[in-house]
Amino acid sequence: MVALNSAQSAAEGSTLRVDGVSKAFRGADGVSTRTFALDNVSLSVAAGELISIVGPSGCGKSTLLRLIAGLDSPNSGELRVGSEVITAPNAERGLVFQDPNLFPWLTVRRNIEIGLVARGLLREKRHEVDEFMRLVGLEAFANAFPHHLSGGMAQRVALARALINHPKLLLLDEPLGALDAFTRMRMQDEVLRLWRARQTTMVLVTHDIDEAIYMSDRIVIMSPRPGRIERVIVVELDRPRHRNSPEFLNLRGEILELLHFAGAATA
Amino acid sequence: MSQELAVQPRIPISAEREQIELPASSRVPAKILLSVPVAIILALIVHWFSAKNEPENETRLYNLFLGEMFGASLLIAYLQRFSAGLREWMKETCPIIGVAILFLAILEIITAGLRWMPLLPMPYFPSPAGVLQSMINDRELLFDSTWHSLALLLGGYTLGVTIGLITGICIGWFPLARYWGMPVLKVVGPIPATAWIPLAMIVSPSAMFSAIGLIALAVWFPVTMLTASGISNTRASYLDVARTLGASRSYLIFRVAIPAAMPNIFLGLFMGLGASFLTLIVAETIGVKSGLGWYVTWAQGWAEYGKVYAALVIMAAFFSSIMSVLFKVRDHVLVWQKGVIKW
Ligand SMILES: Nc1ncnc2c1ncn2[C@@H]1O[C@H](COP(=O)(O)OP(=O)(O)OP(=O)(O)O)[C@@H](O)[C@H]1O
Ligand SMILES: [Mg+2]
């Protein structure tokens, strides 16, 4: 009984809560115009949950992830992990950026090691570097500099670089966007495997609705100007999911309709 | 069928590769191979014709010099058969060396060959042979002067770079340092270091110290300016990445901002080096009683223009060697830029 309680509170402890968060940016011409990137967004992500965020370009997805990571602070509202208010970045909350942003002066291997070096853990965890390089299939490029990589390869390095810290909460901003269909599906399965093995909480921004349905427990649909949460859809399909099952395709149609893509296609 | 398709493109690819590799392993064209020996022979002919009225020891020395060059060029032309690296080097440099020797020959025609013309008054424009003679005759003092210049230059440059990097990083990173440092930098920095010479002479205990201080000041400004701008222009996303990976502030400064600013910092180092050469020579001319700058003025005072040019030749070799050392360091530190920008 006691054990159950503590397990529950541990899970409770790492719930991510986004509470009435708004974020406005000053317009290009000064103070007068303001872009409301996020307007009163509330969301709660349970520990170990994998949710996806989809929505048209400019609806504030990246802004939301930056707030959760602690890189920016909201104009109003509050973000918390458990009872702790998010004020600054932390190695517990990893973020894979939309652009790979690899350090051009470091080799692939050294880029992946950044998290370990920054936290002074390189010596004891060096073996993991090879593990993650294998995971993203870049062993052969260990000593290459980033400008020798293709866009997709760079994205994979960025993914490995975030994973090596074993964050409790992993924020992914279109991490598989530049990959070919085959590599993409393989990486989706790898991410799912890590998610299950480590019980990481994940927030995945994607433009690919199939990816959202295939991967996530819930799908958050956002709308732009101001950025709001339009709907949250619970994906109740059993795992492993089949991309061609009728339920999958039904859900896909439903989401497309919500995103007005279906309407745009017929118009 | 599909196998054929897979095999087919290989043939042109391998042929293409052979074509690409061919120039690297192929022979040095005879034109290039012979350019240096032919240039030397031409220079010798010019020398024989034009140096009839010159002192005999000068002629002997110059003949010896050209002869040695000739021997060396033949030796290298032979050795290149065994080393691909040497072949590449020859293709790269032989035309330049050849033209340089022809240039010597032209200089000789102008200075010694056309002496009967009132074009170039005698003491001011010695022939290459005369310059070579002065260089050999005065080698001890020249060596000593070079040595002093090197010590002064390295002392001042190291000091200036050290202080410049520290102030540049502080101004680039800390807003408070930027607020107070930037105005000082903008007002004091552009004053040429040599303008401080009167003050330096009053303040400093020895000419040596004031010269080092002036060189350091000349180096300090460009290094600070470019380091500061490099650090403050570090892409924010690099810092964001590092922060989400658990980086401390010292990691952000030393492992993100400074490496990101390295290309800029090297620009500052090169500009500082140029400024240090200038300041070195001026300081030596005015205050310090040693070094190449002093030697030039001293030789001019005795109207020994052969020595003046000899010192200039050594100065050129001295400065360009130091410059190429810095290039080597840059190539090593900024390997990651190879292929990104043109060097
Ligand atoms: N630093 C900033 N300064 C000014 N405006 C910004 C800034 N960051 C984001 N915005 C604005 O906020 C809005 C949301 O941007 P955000 O990057 O979060 O969109 P997104 O949903 O990630 O879009 P995409 O799918 O194209 O990546 C946009 O209108 C953008 O112009
Ligand atoms: Mg985005």
* Atom 31 of ligand 1, residue of closest alpha carbon: A58
Q: Looking at residue A45, which CATH number applies to its domain?
A: 3.40.50.300
Which pLDDT belongs to residue B120?
65
Cβ atoms B176, B187 nearer than 8 A: no
- Smallest Cα–Cα separation from A53: which of A195, A175, A219, A256? A219
* Residue A152: domain span: 95-166
Dig out the tokens for B7 from the structure. 């095999």
State the total domains in chain A: 2
Residues A23 and A65 in one domain: yes
| CA distance linking residue B68 with residue B60, whole number of Å | 12
* Atom 1 of ligand 1, residue of closest alpha carbon: A25
Residues A36 and A139 in one domain: no
Query: Hey, are the CB atoms on B256 and A69 less than 8 Å from each other?
Result: no
Nearest CA in chain B to A147: B340
Query: Hey, are the CB atoms on A106 and B336 less than 8 Å from each other?
Result: yes
Residue among A94, A104, A106 minimizing CB distance to B244: A94
List CB contacts (< 8 A) between A103 and chain B: 238, 241, 256, 259-260
Residues A24 and A68 in one domain: yes
- Tens of pLDDT, residue by residue over A177-200, are 888 888 899 889 988 988 988 889
Where would I find the H helices in chain B?
A: 2-7, 10-25, 30-50, 56-79, 84-108, 128-137, 139-173, 175-188, 197-203, 207-232, 236-244, 249-251, 258-286, 292-301, 305-333
Dig out the tokens for A125 from the structure. 């965890």
Which pLDDT belongs to residue A32?
65
| CA distance linking residue B319 with residue B311, whole number of Å | 12
Ion ligand 2, residue ranges at CB < 5 A: A 62, 98
Q: Is residue A8 part of a domain?
A: no
Residue among B235, B244, B334 minimizing CB distance to A89: B244
Report A:184-243 residues touching B (Cβ under 8 A). Answer: none
Q: Coil, helix or strand for A93?
A: strand
Query: Hey, are the CB atoms on B241 and A104 less than 8 Å from each other?
Result: no
**ipTM of this model?**
0.88
Omega before A226 within 30 of 0, i.e. cis: yes
- The residues, any chain, with a CB within 8 Å of residue A129's CB and separated by 6 or more, are A109, A112, A113, A116, A164
| CA distance linking residue B169 with residue B225, whole number of Å | 10
Omega before A240 within 30 of 0, i.e. cis: yes
Amino acid at B59: T
- Tens of pLDDT, residue by residue over A99-121, are 999 999 999 999 999 999 999 98
Query: Hey, are the CB atoms on A90 and B260 less than 8 Å from each other?
Result: no
Class of the domain covering B139-337: mainly alpha
pLDDT < 50: residue spans in chain B: 1-22
| CA distance linking residue B183 with residue A206, whole number of Å | 47
Distances (CA, A) of B38 to B43, B48, B88, B94, B99: 9, 15, 20, 11, 11
Residues A69 and A173 in one domain: yes
Which pLDDT belongs to residue A8?
46
Q: Coil, helix or strand for A24?
A: strand
Residues A59 and A116 in one domain: no
Q: Residue A30 gets which letter from DSSP?
A: E
A231 beta partners: A221
Ligand 1 atom closest to A56 (CA): 25
Ligand 1 pocket: which of A33, A41, A54, A59 to mutate (most atoms within 8 A of CB): A59
Cβ atoms A241, A213 nearer than 8 A: yes
Q: Is residue A7 part of a domain?
A: no
pTM metric for this prediction? 0.84
How many Cβ atoms from other residues are within 10 Å of residue B6's Cβ? 9
Boundary residue ending a domain (A138, A166, A194) = A166
Which pLDDT belongs to residue A190?
86
Which pLDDT belongs to residue B3?
43
Boundary residue ending a domain (A135, A151, A166) = A166
Which pLDDT belongs to residue A237?
86
Q: Is residue A191 part of a domain?
A: yes
Q: Average of pLDDT values for A217-226? A: 89
Domain edges within chain B:
2-123, 139-337
Cβ of A60 less than 6 Å from ligand 1: yes
| CA distance linking residue A33 with residue A27, whole number of Å | 5
Q: In what side-by-side order are the strands of the sheet with A30-45?
A: A30-45, A16-27, A76-81, A84-85
Residue A262 pLDDT > 80, yes or no? no
Query: Hey, are the CB atoms on B244 and A105 less than 8 Å from each other?
Result: no
| B86-B89-B93 Cα angle (round to 5) | 140
Cβ of A54 less than 6 Å from ligand 1: no
Nearest CA in chain A to B234: A103
B73 φ/ψ angles, rounded to the nearest 5 degrees: -65, -35
Which pLDDT belongs to residue A177?
84
Mean pLDDT of chain A: 86
Residues A140 and A207 in one domain: no
Q: Is residue A5 part of a domain?
A: no
Query: Hey, are the CB atoms on A97 and B241 less than 8 Å from each other?
Result: yes
Cβ atoms A215, A192 nearer than 8 A: yes
Residues A87 and A212 in one domain: yes
Residues A107 and A62 in one domain: no
- Tens of pLDDT, residue by residue over A147-156, are 989 888 898 9
Cβ atoms B295, B302 nearer than 8 A: no
Q: How far apart are the CA of A80 and the centre of ligand 2, in A?
A: 22
What does B33-76 look like in DSSP terms, one character per residue? HHHHHHHHHHHHHHHHHH-TTS-HHHHHHHHHHHHHHHHHHHHH
* Atom 18 of ligand 1, residue of closest alpha carbon: A60
- Tens of pLDDT, residue by residue over A5-25, are 444 444 455 789 999 999 988
Residues A88 and A101 in one domain: no
Rounded to the nearest angstrom, the minimum Cα separation between A249 and chain B is: 35
Residues A110 and A242 in one domain: no
Query: Hey, are the CB atoms on B244 and A118 less than 8 Å from each other?
Result: no
Residue among B244, B251, B262 minimizing CB distance to A95: B244
Instruction: Return the residue matching tokens 């299939």.
Output: A137
| CA distance linking residue A133 with residue A164, whole number of Å | 10
Dihedral in degrees, nearest 10, Cα atoms B166, B170, B172, B177: -140
Cβ atoms B272, B167 nearer than 8 A: no
Q: Is residue A66 part of a domain?
A: yes
Residues A122 and A207 in one domain: no
Residues A245 and A148 in one domain: no
| CA distance linking residue B278 with residue B288, whole number of Å | 14
Rounded to the nearest angstrom, the minimum Cα separation between A8 and chain B is: 27
Which pLDDT belongs to residue B321?
95
